[in-house]
Amino acid sequence: MTTKFNKEDVLFYLEEMVQMEMATSIEEDVYYSLKQDKKISREQLKSVLKCMYKWYNTKF
């Protein structure tokens, strides 16, 4: 089964990680960039999605 995330899912995940102070520096950079509607690199997004998949699979 493939899990797909949309922008709201990514923002929710990043916000939770930042609030719990569990976010990596890349996750924090991506979070603040998205909140300010700035562009992020493909590598940054790939890194965040990889963390999201790992987090999602351990949580559910």
- For position 58, what pLDDT does the model report? 78
Cβ contacts of 53-59, under 8 Å, gap ≥ 24? 53/3, 55/13, 56/3
pLDDT digits 0-9 by tens, 16-55: 999 999 999 999 999 999 989 899 999 999 999 998 888 8
Q: Give the single-character DSSP code of 60.
A: -
pLDDT at 1: 40
**Is pLDDT above 90 for 5?**
no
Distance CA 57, CA 39 (A): 27
For the question of whether the overall pTM of this predicted structure is more than 0.85, the answer is no
